[in-house]
């Protein structure tokens, strides 16, 4: 799986996301991005592995968190 495919599948994995608009420069990119809409989900083991790379952001001291 390519990094762009992984990225798109990861975004589509979230239940609140039904549509994404990726950028494309070449016809090959269009074809590759269309294949992601095949409904195949990322498996649990891969999602667990990706979770280890999560960036837990903390607001700077004194900063107002977003609403």
Q: Which residue shows structure tokens 């952001």?
A: 57
**Mean confidence (pLDDT) of the chain:** 86
Given pLDDT bands bounded at 50, 70 and 90, which one contains residue 55?
A: confident
Q: Roughly how many angstroms between the first and final C-alpha of the chain, as a whole number?
A: 36
Residue 67: what pLDDT? 62
Contacts of 7 (CB under 8 A, 6+ apart): none
């Amino acid at each position: 799986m390519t990094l762009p495919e992984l990225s798109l599948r990861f975004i589509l994995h979230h239940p609140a996301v039904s549509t994404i608009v990726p950028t494309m420069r070449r016809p090959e990119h269009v074809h590759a991005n269309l294949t992601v809409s095949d409904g195949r989900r990322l498996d649990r083991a891969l999602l667990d592995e990706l979770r280890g790379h999560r960036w837990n952001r903390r607001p700077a001291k004194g900063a107002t968190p977003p609403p």
